[in-house]
A = this chain, B = another copy of it.
């Protein structure tokens, strides 16, 4: 027995398509819109993408299918971190492809983009793909983090495509992967390979978002999963009334995940990295901000609470970034050997004290010893501090404890402060997709094939009006170059899709800002519970608070 009861039931779920894609392949026509320009740096982007720049946005409509009949051999790639619904993108793509012509072929390149370069693939069949419908994970063909970005790689990719008669590649990935999809599309066009490239917007982090892409897939399911857990812990905190829980959530640099979870659960405190950066907050300011909530709640007899921390926050604290940069410098090259030769922590500490500026040493001195040691002992192959490994949930718990000790000594605080820490990330990336993500992903894949069939190249599969029922969703495509601008990356100017951070003047943050003072003092916890796939629509078709606020559906 290897399949759970839920999986058995979910295999039967029929994902919902946007209305205009529901009439059968022969009844899907294209409406072309305006020619597009890139988000910024138009001249430069146009120069870099002469073959794929300035294309028109398109929308699908009900109407006679005018695409040319052509046998399609499509290759699909899952790129980067897992996000719930990836399997459904593949299923939607497969179903549209087979509905158009049963002779069409879908190849899955295994283990991410490297599968294309290594010519490592499987050919999908009904029996195989049917095991994966509406399931989580990327295990159908695996994923990987190899970046497709060099001319050499493109040449290999092109050869592999030629070998199998591949007519189109669908890349399912985040901002970087879709940037690379855009560059690959340009290459394929420039070299007259006849291979089209289509991207699909994936990431639980929610940072692939703009005026065209309302949200990336996986964000809905992942945030609902983390919110389930945060809510459960809040119930526990409110029952036992003796712990402050510090909970870090995934999301890389952006705080979309933390913010959405906060909107769903109403914790005592939620840090937002973008605000920390904008206000140039120090560790001490953040610790004091949290301690203010602890102090106020203790006055009401509530020695418990919940703090939500976005994964990337420490990198947004200017003094901490400066410290990291100094440490990287301090241990560069042979200096690391000198440091490593020192035996005791006291000797190492003296070495550090001598090497850091007074400002950075002051910051370093406030850190708990475990974090101090981690900064020096765990470094990546290039010798750099691994910021993502820093247990910032423990760091802030410790810094707040220090602040409270001072306040207690000063007679300003008289509570108890016991902490527990958590990190939620892997728990949500491979959950069974919510109905929303199951439908959205299936539609993205189905729609990607329609873009292929109509001959588009360098487009992102686009489904919009997502806060409405699926029937009212709008399917179409957008040139990837439209999302691009030039950015400095690793010392070079590169054309990239702009990463979307939390906007401090956006509706989701504004809502949070308007309520957080109350949440910090009163117990306003909300308990979302587990994702439901069946039952009342209010429960199982619930849109994210982020999207609801952005669309003005929630005040």
Contact = CB atoms under 8 A, between A and B. Distances in A.
Interface of A: 1-10, 81-82, 111, 135-139, 142-143, 225, 228-229, 231-233, 235-236, 238-241, 245, 264, 266, 343-346, 370, 420, 422, 426-432, 524-536, 538-540, 542
A266 B1 CA distance: 10
A534 B240 CA distance: 29
A346 B345 CA distance: 9
Nearest to A10: B529
Nearest to A542: B5
B526 A240 contact: no
B137 A524 contact: no
Nearest to A236: B430
6 shortest interchain CB distances as A-B pairs = A534-B535, A235-B430, A137-B235, A530-B530, A6-B529, A138-B239
Given A136-B527, A344-B344, A432-B527, A426 B532 contact: no
B538 A9 contact: yes
B6 A528 contact: yes
A240 B143 contact: yes
Nearest to A239: B138
A430 B239 contact: yes
Contacts of A532: 6, 530, 532-535
Contacts of A82: 235-236, 239-240
Given A82-B240, A137-B235, A236-B137, A8 B530 contact: no
Copies of the polypeptide in the assembly: 2
A167 to B, nearest CB: 27
A535 B535 contact: yes
Contact of A427 (B229, B343, B428): B229
A538 B431 CA distance: 19
Contact of A531 (B3, B136, B530): B530
Nearest to A264: B4
A6 B539 CA distance: 6
B232 A430 contact: yes
A275 B94 CA distance: 48
Contacts of A264: 4
B536 A431 contact: no
A111 B241 contact: yes
Contacts of A9: 535-536, 538-539
A298 to B, nearest CB: 17
A137 B538 contact: no
Contacts of A266: 2
A542 B5 CA distance: 8
11 contacts: A4-B529, A5-B539, A8-B538, A135-B527, A139-B239, A232-B429, A236-B430, A344-B346, A431-B530, A534-B539, A534-B540
Nearest to A6: B529
A218 to B, nearest CB: 12
A390 to B, nearest CB: 15
B528 A426 contact: no
A2 B234 CA distance: 13
A422 B236 CA distance: 18
B139 A426 contact: no
